[in-house]
Amino acid sequence: MPELGSLVSKVRSKNAGPFWLTVDVFCDDPATYARVRDGLKDATVAKLFGVEQQLLKRFDIPALNVVKFSVPRPVVQGTRADRDMHGAGWACLLEELQID
Amino acid sequence: MTRVLIPAGALGLGYDRAALERGVANRPDIIAIDGGSTDSGPSYLGRGVSKYSRASTKVEWRELMQARAKAGVPLVIGTAGTCGADAAVDWLFDITREIALEEGMQVKVATLKSGQPKERVKAALGEGRLHALPAAPDINEAIVDDCTNIVALAGVEQVAAALATGADIVIAGRTTDTAIIAALPVVRGDHAGAAWHGAKVGECGALATTQPNSGVIQIDFDASGFTIEPMAADAAATPYTVSAHMLYENSDPFILHEPGGHLDVTRSEYEALDGRRVRVEGSKWVPGGYTVKLEGARIVGYQTVGLAVVRERRYVEHVREWAADVEARVRDKIVARMGLAPDAFTVEIRLIGMDATLGALENRHDIPVEVGILGILTCPTAELAAEAGKILNPYLLHHPLTEDEPMPTFAFPFSPAEMQRGALYEFCLNHVMELDDPLAAFVLETHEVGHA
């Protein structure tokens, strides 16, 4: 199975304020979008980011060929345990995820 | 119709100067730029300081003041000095005064301060007028008392009041990213949904175009929608770049909460007018109760960090057990020699090259060439953190993997290898405060600046 990052044009993660993290998966075309939408399971993504599944917000946006996830930040931005002030590194977890 | 010229996503980031000139020549009604964000972390709000250098800020702010004088319209900045604390407003006001004197300008400056007295926040907490947003931390009076700075995010009402003074320049403390752009269109009766939506698209400057680094964009707001056009010759706004911008740093790409209501772009339509301009209609503003979001930062400890690099293969291969051993020994020695209680401080080693970015979430486990050993000590005072750093230092330099092997020496990049980080701040508020009068929590003043 290929890694998600090899199928899509970009995976971007960013803070959405200090308490939330948002991850956007940009697909180039509707076929890739449909594959990514169906291949990314909520439970898998929640586990990848270390959050409970019911806290995961998901937006499938066909107009943009984008699948977007938002989660409460696994650790709040800038706290002692935070390792990534801008939250950009979390994108790698999705990029390297193998999907059907 | 209201034409807003936005020079960049933030003051200090730079922009295309020819594009700014083009924007000024197009006769805008106002020039608006954001000065900050929480994105760089809680230290800036905690200390009330700017992330960008004073020198860079002054160079760019001078050019914007000159552009303003040429255009003869107000110049407004929101979230001055990265964090929008009162001290950051004073900092930019000071720079403004210097520039006015140097340039022989005479300008009326309005300052809008967003700093919140603790008593006001505690009163709101006690009266049930403070409401937690999703994923907010627990708060109480003691936490509010601990904050070194609390700011409220101003909306269009407060920015409009500052503009209504007739000020040439408005230096606002913390505002929502959108308020400085939406204020004038809302006041002039342009479409409210368009005002907020266009402001959200424009708040990062040219990020919503094909040339993000060019900075400068122009947005025309009218009775039914808005039109966005980048000012750089080689930049284009497309329906994709404009609509995709709602994804950026937003946990919900369709709804944006603002003081006094929310924006809903679910039914917005994006149309390319030509190769570089986009028209947007159908955005909706939904009025609600009047609340302002609060941000606060407090000190939770003081840190010393130490950095060493392990290159020897055997140590790299066993670096996790080595690091765990160092952590335990340093912890024990701090208790034994400094007399600190075990729960009064923390010792953490992050392994750069292994999992320093993602920690326990990391899924890759390759063996790297070398590993950066980042030791982080967090103590109740700066003096204790400095002392603890000196206990850590010899372990980072020489700690052997086993008892019966020659003493190793690792690579220290500096002398000393440990560095004082100062205070560790935390964001401790993610709440909104109800206000009966939008202006009640903000301080608006005007100043005549420069040569009379």
What's the rounded Cα separation, in Å, for the pair B296 and B147? 6
Overall average pLDDT of the B173-195 stretch: 98
Work out the pLDDT band at A16, boundaries 50, 70, 90: very high
Please give the domain boundaries of chain A with CATH numbers for all domains: 4-95 (3.30.980)
Asked whether the predicted pLDDT for residue B452 surpasses 80, the reply is: no
**CB atoms B135 and A89 under 8 Å:** no
Parallel, antiparallel, or unpaired for β B106-113 and B443-450? antiparallel
Which chain B residue has its CA at the smallest distance from A47's CA? Answer: B361
**Phi, psi dihedrals of residue B251, rounded to the nearest 5°:** -75, -25
- Give residue ranges of B with CB < 8 Å to any A CB: 38-43, 133-137, 240, 243-244, 247-254, 300-301, 346, 348, 350, 356-361, 363-364, 376, 378, 424-427, 430
Which residue among A22, A48, A66 sits closest to B251, beta carbon to beta carbon? A22
Parallel, antiparallel, or unpaired for β B284-287 and B291-310? unpaired
Overall average pLDDT of the B308-336 stretch: 98
Using H for helix, E for strand and C for coil, what is the string for B415-441?
A: CCCEEEEEEEEEECCCEEEECCCHHHH
Work out the pLDDT band at A74, boundaries 50, 70, 90: confident
- Three-state SS at B227: strand
Chain A residues within an 8 Å CB radius of B201: none
Overall average pLDDT of the B91-117 stretch: 98
pLDDT score at B451: 75
Asked whether the predicted pLDDT for residue B123 surpasses 70, the reply is: yes
Chain A residues within an 8 Å CB radius of B364: 96
Chain A residues within an 8 Å CB radius of B250: 16, 22
pLDDT digits (tens, 9 = 90+) for B274-305: 999 999 999 999 999 999 999 999 999 999 99
Residue A69 β-bridge partners: A23, A58
The distance in angstroms from the start CA to the end CA of chain B is 34
A94 CA to chain B: closest CA distance, Å? 11
Please give the domain boundaries of chain B with CATH numbers for all domains: 2-114+153-290+435-450 (no CATH), 299-428 (3.30.70)
Asked whether the predicted pLDDT for residue B363 surpasses 70, the reply is: yes
ipTM score here?
0.95
**CB atoms B360 and A86 under 8 Å:** no
What's the rounded Cα separation, in Å, for the pair B218 and B389? 52
Chain B residues within an 8 Å CB radius of A4: none
Chain B touched by A18 (CB under 8 Å): yes
What's the rounded Cα separation, in Å, for the pair B314 and B406? 13
Pairs of residues, one from chain A and one from chain B, whose beta carbons lie less than 8 Å apart: 106
Asked whether the predicted pLDDT for residue B428 surpasses 70, the reply is: yes
pLDDT digits (tens, 9 = 90+) for B80-93: 999 999 999 999 99
- State the Cα angle at B87 between A83 and B129, rounded to 5°: 75
pLDDT score at B417: 93
A21 CA to chain B: closest CA distance, Å? 7
Chain B residues within an 8 Å CB radius of A83: 350, 356-359
Mutate to test the interface with B, among A13, A68, A97 (most CBs of B within 10 A): A68
pLDDT digits (tens, 9 = 90+) for B205-251: 999 999 999 999 999 999 999 999 999 999 999 999 999 999 998 99
**Mean of the per-residue pLDDT values of chain B:** 97
For the whole model, what pTM was predicted? 0.96
Chain A residues within an 8 Å CB radius of B254: 59
Overall average pLDDT of the B413-428 stretch: 97
Chain B touched by A10 (CB under 8 Å): no
pLDDT digits (tens, 9 = 90+) for B30-77: 999 999 999 999 999 999 999 999 999 999 999 999 999 999 999 999
**CB atoms B42 and A18 under 8 Å:** yes
Which chain B residue has its CA at the smallest distance from A25's CA? Answer: B247
For B383-408, give one letter per residue: b (16+ CB within 10 A) or e.
ebbebbbebbbebbbebeeeeeeeee
A70 CA to chain B: closest CA distance, Å? 5
Residue B280 β-bridge partners: B226, B270
* Percentage of chain B lying above the pLDDT 90 cut: 98
Mutate to test the interface with B, among A13, A26, A60, A79 (most CBs of B within 10 A): A79
**Phi, psi dihedrals of residue B37, rounded to the nearest 5°:** 180, 165
pLDDT score at B238: 97
Chain B residues within an 8 Å CB radius of A17: 38, 249, 251, 430
What is the C-alpha radius of gyration for chain A, rounded to an integer number of angstroms? Answer: 13
Which residue among B41, B360, B361 sits closest to A77, beta carbon to beta carbon? B41
Asked whether the predicted pLDDT for residue B11 surpasses 70, the reply is: yes
B98 CA to chain A: closest CA distance, Å? 33
Which residue among B250, B426, B430 sits closest to A22, beta carbon to beta carbon? B250
Chain B residues within an 8 Å CB radius of A89: 357-358
Which chain B residue has its CA at the smallest distance from A16's CA? Answer: B249
